[in-house]
Chain A
């Protein structure tokens, strides 16, 4: 039986909880099945063994970016509805997990989210009110987020097995591919503006220009050796109170 529009809405809403049962052996498998259930129940209505078999195969290991998992939910439901053979569905699931993971990580976690965050941080740096800054992140970010889930779910259902072709034309990726220079520009600007706020918190004893030069000199090799300098950053942060205590013990009190 073809899923009703309310089943579709129900399944789409459930994609928001697709990571709630994330675990190491099957990763998104259980969450994906949870999202698919309203559709599977309709598709296999009146055939409990077929429903049980469908639930069993979707509980298997699966992984994807959580937002793009909506594509998988739509496409897998379509395959079930079209009566595609079990082994073909399994192969399709396996083929889908890699692209849905890497595409989402690359486009959303590595590009879209940093861009929206850096817009907000830069606005804060130029004196915009905190609430406006937070909204400047949340609103555009979630417009993209909700669009990906809606677009993915609809296109997944419409295209079924042909969804792979669709991923090669993922519109958000085309957008973020063009916007990375903006993200990098904002990263530099936001860091300097935050640095200014930190220096102001330190009072008049801290000079802005030498700090900026030191920071810039650190950021350059960090770009070349990210892991070492990432650890150095946290080491530096943790060393500050230790140095303060040593300075106090040495009698350099206020």
Chain B
């Protein structure tokens, strides 16, 4: 695909960068209504470039790939807001139709998510410094209220910077990948590897949700029922 057809104008880029900041804030700081989940953020990214369905596909795959990284306590987990937004926008910009662009967008989204995670780790350390002097905060509690506003601004800046840093490169790579169609066997390999990765991730992620081994039976029943509707006989 020619890069001029990607549709990522400066205005769209700016909109997505601002949106990336807001989604990053939703992830942890405020208000956690889960617009930061990749299912939502990737759809928003895709919608910004005219392909909400393509964005949703990328978001759903990222959602299942990140299932085994729940945000428990101080655990590190991908920052899914900017990740989904970047991946959804990149796939949509690349035309939302090829396995090559899908793989590029997913890898770009995964990288964005972990970059956001490490930036979030730095933000947690910064917060620790900000609230270290508890005596001073107790004496002037209004300072704590200003610190919260400052922390939200820092988190917004973190998300916006991560989105700004990854959006254009990932979109360009996805656009290039869409233009460089791999051979038939290569495309089949890509689909096989991606579906297998998805299944492995789902199997691993199910362990965080399921109470015991009986869960596997229900996963199997759901899969077989869906498969029976999709793969009808001759």
Q: Which residues of A are in contact with B by a Cβ distance under 8 Å?
A: 16-17, 19-27, 29-31, 33-34, 37, 40-41, 51-53, 55-56, 59-60, 63, 66-67, 101, 105, 109-111, 113-114, 117, 120-121, 124-125, 130-131, 133-134, 137-138, 141-142, 145, 177, 180-181, 183-199, 201-203, 205-212, 214-216, 218-223, 225-227, 229-230, 232-234, 236-241, 243-244, 247-248, 252-254
Contacts and interface: CB of A to CB of B under 8 A. Distances in A.
Given A21-B148, A205-B187, A241 B209 contact: no
Contacts of B10: none
Contact of A230 (B141, B204, B216, B224): B204
A185 B30 contact: no
B193 A130 contact: no
B149 to A, nearest CB: 9
Given A26-B128, A223-B204, 10 more contacts: A37-B144, A60-B134, A110-B209, A114-B67, A180-B215, A184-B218, A184-B222, A192-B230, A222-B202, A253-B183
A236 B194 CA distance: 7
A37 to B, nearest CB: 6
30 contacts: A16-B31, A23-B128, A23-B131, A27-B73, A114-B67, A117-B39, A124-B56, A137-B40, A184-B218, A184-B222, A187-B202, A188-B218, A188-B226, A189-B226, A194-B61, A196-B230, A198-B61, A201-B97, A201-B98, A203-B184, A203-B187, A206-B191, A208-B230, A212-B195, A214-B192, A216-B223, A229-B203, A230-B68, A244-B100, A247-B183
A26 B132 CA distance: 9
Contacts of B213: 223
B74 A142 contact: no
B193 A186 contact: no
Nearest to B102: A201
Interface string B181-214: 1111111111111111111111111111111010
A202 B99 contact: yes
Contacts of B35: 138
B155 interface: yes
A124 B230 CA distance: 14
A187 B190 CA distance: 22
Interface stretch (B14-22, B104-112, B164-172): B104-112
A121 B187 contact: no
A238 B57 contact: no
